[in-house]
């Protein structure tokens, strides 16, 4: 009898740990970045669509903007894509795609297949700017105010639950900027 209870006890303990882990899985989306309240790192990156064009941090200052980190290799990016598409239609601030650790041809093919809701894309093949931003992995979404300060970081895919929160935060940034 005791020999049968031990495996059952271990199984029950594992199920309890699994359920506890599932309940806290959404907490990964609210981990504060040490860069919150600090300027977005300086950058000058090539455009995904036109490798001869570069975009610098200074070009984006003066109004709030959103940086959404994605890659064609990222399954969660595909999951969040309908909400990013919706965001691109509903916000009145630049939605910047940061194509991170990707191959240009793969990224362009992905956009052709799934659609391109972003205003433009920065191409960060080596991933250096992503590292400077403190990116853990794709997807991640950063809200930047009109002065270039990182105000919020959303880790993981944008979900129906987080979407409204992000829109409200963007609305507040627009009010602060006077736009």
Q: 31-177: which CATH topology?
A: Glutaredoxin (3.40.30)
The residues spanned by each domain of the chain are: 1-28, 31-177
Picking from 92, 89, 107, 132, the residue whose alpha carbon sits closest to that of residue 47 is 107
Between CA 153 and CA 18 the distance in angstroms is 27
Tens place of pLDDT per residue across the chain (179 aa): 666 666 665 665 565 555 555 454 444 445 567 889 999 999 999 999 999 999 999 999 999 999 999 999 999 999 999 999 999 999 999 999 999 999 999 999 999 999 999 999 999 999 999 999 999 999 999 999 999 999 999 999 999 999 999 999 999 999 999 97
Distant-in-sequence contacts of 27-32, Cβ < 8 A, 24+ apart: 28/155, 28/156, 29/154, 29/155, 29/156, 29/159, 29/162, 30/155, 31/153, 31/155, 32/153
The model's pTM is 0.82
Question: Distance between CA 21 and CA 30 in Å, rounded?
Answer: 15
């Amino acid at each position: 009898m005791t020999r049968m209870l031990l495996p059952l006890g271990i199984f029950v303990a594992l199920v309890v740990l699994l359920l506890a882990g599932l309940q806290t899985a959404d907490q990964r989306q609210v981990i504060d970045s040490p860069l919150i309240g600090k300027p977005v790192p300086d950058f000058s990156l090539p455009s995904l669509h036109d490798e001869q064009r570069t975009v610098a941090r200074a070009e984006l200052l003066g109004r709030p903007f959103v940086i959404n980190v994605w890659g064609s290799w990222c399954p969660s990016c595909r999951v969040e894509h309908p909400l990013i598409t919706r965001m691109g239609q509903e916000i009145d601030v630049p939605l910047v795609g940061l194509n991170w650790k990707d191959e240009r041809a793969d990224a362009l093919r992905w956009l052709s297949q799934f659609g391109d809701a972003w205003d433009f894309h920065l191409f960060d093949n080596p991933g250096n700017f992503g590292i400077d931003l403190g990116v853990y992995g794709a997807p991640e979404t950063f809200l930047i105010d009109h002065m270039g300060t990182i105000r919020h970081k959303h880790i993981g895919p944008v979900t129906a639950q987080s979407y409204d929160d992000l829109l409200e935060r963007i609305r507040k940034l627009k009010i602060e900027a006077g736009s």
